[in-house]
Amino acid sequence: MSEDMVRLDYSYCTAEAVGQNGFSDADLDRIGKDAALMLDSVLPEAKQGKPGFMALPFMTDDELDPVLKEAGRLKDLADTLVVLGIGGSALGATAVDMALAGSLRNSFARPHGCMRLFVADNPDPRSFGMLLHNLDLNRTVFNVVSKSGSTAETMAQFMVVMEMLKNKMGWDKAAQRVVFTTDPEKGNLRLIAQKEGDFRCLEVPPDVGGRFSVLSPVGLLPLAAAGHNIKVLLSGARAMYERCLNPDFSSNPAALLAGLTVEYMHSARNILVMMPYATDLFGLAQWFAQLWAESLGKASDLDGKEVHAGQTPVAAVGATDQHSQLQLYIEGPQDKLVLFATLDDMGGDIPIPGLFQDIDSISYLGGASMGALIKSEAKATQAALAQQKRPSLNLRLPRLDAHCLGQVLFLLEAATLMAGKLLRINPLDQPGVELGKVLTYGLMGRKGFEQEAKRMAEIDFGGKRLV
């Protein structure tokens, strides 16, 4: 196995490590048999690039060219890019940018040729207002990302931004500072681009759902503008694609991850905590939370039988959350599986100076390093969980670079699809989020949603009993 490979360590899911809450060899054989059936249905389609996210790692230079050209054009115009999008149209760019440029990336100047990247994913007037107030519009461009082109939050942000830009520089110049990433044919952004003419557009492939779109222009444009090597990101995803198409369950990391987590779901481990031991991977945990929650949380199975499937994802970060959530994970209800992510090479280390040698309780730190400390904490936490018979998995990344991250993104997407197949639900739709959306339309007075407005008047209990 190449040294560049991301590995899945499932040692802490075995009976040897966590007793009755782990799997024996016989259990693993059984899980493998179910997974083999699942792979029989997934692999032929995956080889055809289906569902659409499976084909993204294989984008050709011709397909990437418009993305790279647009990133270059934006960089010529400005030094700051603001993405307006929400959910799958926002979380992927944040996850990768945070991982590669660091959590503090917007607090300091970026290297030459790398745009500052803000992802404004919430129509919260306080935070969005503060961002707008502090932007120099002459040095800022905007990427409006919405596959549907109808998401209220994103369209509202776009309208606010467009009005500001128009007032400052006139419509034509304003439009040059805005690029849309949207469906190739449908939706309001496409309509506006066709009508108004001046807006550049990149395409979200119609068969790629929002939460699976990080490796499409949705994520690639902002990431290229921020200076990340999107070709290397895709090469990592390609390397993982090959491994996820392995029909042998025990060598296929996505099938293993899906098979083990689904087995734990069947034994009432209803919560999946993703806890990377790297501050800069917190965005990845938040991206994964949408992927896992929206894909697997379903009322009915493929036969229409009510199942209420799913596993609640929690985004945590080590070592920080050892001092906040870990007590619950170690001693609370036996309803959790923890998915750690660790870095073999932390990407730099800081030696701890040998001060205070006369204080025994801290003198051991002197001469060690921060890297050694956080790595020991990750190991110790997994072992401590296991002592209390709490299972966990660990995604081991050789280092935090574009190639490894491409592997991780693809692995988690493939595992999510496979988990959905094992659960016999549709992991690619999200019918449950519709009701809240249409009721909001009713409240906001959207034409055609008068019934929803009425319905809201009947079911809105908020504020009826206040203390």
Ligand X SMILES: O=P(O)(O)OC[C@H]1O[C@](O)(CO)[C@@H](O)[C@@H]1O
Structure tokens at 183: 């469906």
Give how far Cα 447 sits from Cα of 261, 420, 444, 450, Å: 44, 36, 9, 7
Question: Quick check: is 323 catalytic?
Answer: yes
Q: Does 154 bind ligand X (CB under 6 A)?
A: yes
CA 285 to chain CA centroid, Å, is 6
Instruction: Tell me the closest approach of the beta carbon of residue 364 to ligand X, in angstroms.
Output: 47
How many residues in the shown chain lie near ligand X by CB under 6 A?
A: 14
Q: Does 362 bind ligand X (CB under 6 A)?
A: no
- The correct pick among 51, 418, 430, 449 for binding ligand X (CB under 6 A) is 430
Among residues 70, 153, 263, 294, the one annotated as catalytic is: 294
CB proximity list for 52: less than 8 A, separation 6 or greater:
205, 206, 207, 208, 209, 212
Q: Does 219 bind ligand X (CB under 6 A)?
A: no
d(CA 137, CA 35): 52
- Please answer whether residues 89 and 218 qualify as being in contact, where contact means their C-beta atoms are separated by less than 8 angstroms: yes
Among residues 186, 231, 375, 437, the one annotated as catalytic is: 437
Nearest residue to ligand X by CB is: 210
Question: Quick check: is 203 catalytic?
Answer: no
β-strand partners of 392: 338
β-strand partners of 312: 271
Instruction: Tell me the closest approach of the beta carbon of residue 51 to ligand X, in angstroms.
Output: 14
Q: Does 116 bind ligand X (CB under 6 A)?
A: no
DSSP code of residue 369: B
Q: Give the position of tokens 């709490």.
A: 390
d(CA 217, CA 458): 42
In terms of Cα–Cα distance, which of 60, 53, 95, 116 is closest to 288? 95
Nearer to ligand X, 11 or 148 (CB): 148
Segment near ligand X (CB under 6 A); pick from 87-95, 247-255, 336-344, 371-379: 87-95
Question: Quick check: is 294 catalytic?
Answer: yes
Instruction: Tell me the closest approach of the beta carbon of residue 134 to ligand X, in angstroms.
Output: 25
Dihedral sign for Cα 52, 58, 61, 64, please. Answer: positive
Instruction: Tell me the closest approach of the beta carbon of residue 49 to ligand X, in angstroms.
Output: 21
- The correct pick among 21, 80, 140, 146 for binding ligand X (CB under 6 A) is 146
Q: Does 310 bind ligand X (CB under 6 A)?
A: no
In terms of Cα–Cα distance, which of 333, 332, 367 is closest to 353? 367
Q: Does 368 bind ligand X (CB under 6 A)?
A: no
Instruction: Tell me the closest approach of the beta carbon of residue 61 to ligand X, in angstroms.
Output: 26
Instruction: Tell me the closest approach of the beta carbon of residue 437 to ligand X, in angstroms.
Output: 6
Nearer to ligand X, 70 or 121 (CB): 121
Contact pattern from residue 178 through residue 217 relative to ligand X, giving x for each residue in contact according to CB under 6 A and a dash for the rest: --------------------------------xx------
Nearer to ligand X, 151 or 407 (CB): 151
Element (H, E) at 451: helix 450-459
Here the contacts of 385-388 (C-beta below 8 Å, separation 24 or greater) are 385/12, 385/329, 385/330, 385/338, 386/12, 386/17, 386/18, 388/330, 388/331
- The correct pick among 55, 56, 86, 95 for binding ligand X (CB under 6 A) is 86
Nearer to ligand X, 148 or 246 (CB): 148
Residues at the contact surface with ligand X, assessed by CB under 6 A? 86-89, 146-148, 151, 154, 210-211, 294, 430, 433
What residues are annotated to the active site? 294, 323, 437
